[in-house]
Amino acid sequence: MKYLLIFLLVLVIFIISITLGAHNDQTVTFNYLLAQGQYRVSTLLATLFAAGFILGWAICGLFWLRVRVSLAHAQRKVKRLQQQLGQAEETVTASPVPAVKE
């Protein structure tokens, strides 16, 4: 349900940007670091929206990957500690010395 709402929000933003861009056919000068160019407002709006969307997904994907790697490492550590705990319990219960007083 959460992902559906996010998808609908992105879809609404994309439709609004296309609608605004379709009604603005004027040419603007866009200055970027190395040069400048003449672009239509609709093309510029769609390109920058797509670039921001892709950049946002890439950043979120990197954070998600970092969390997944951390989770896998923690699960391996928990499994190893459980095995060590099981081995320690086996040595305590199987001790050769009787625990009876005489």
The model scores a pTM over 0.85: no
Q: Please, are residues 37 and 29 in contact by the beta-carbon 8 Å criterion? A: yes
- pLDDT (tens digit, 9 = 90+) per residue, 28-66? 898 888 889 998 887 887 788 889 989 999 999 999 999
Q: Return the minimum-mean-pLDDT range out of 6-10, 37-41, 45-49, 89-93.
A: 89-93
At position 70, the amino acid (one-letter code) is S
Q: Please, are residues 30 and 44 in contact by the beta-carbon 8 Å criterion? A: yes
Q: Please, are residues 42 and 14 in contact by the beta-carbon 8 Å criterion? A: no
Q: Find tokens 């319990």 and name the residue.
A: 89
Q: Please, are residues 22 and 50 in contact by the beta-carbon 8 Å criterion? A: no
Residue 37: strand pairing partners:
30
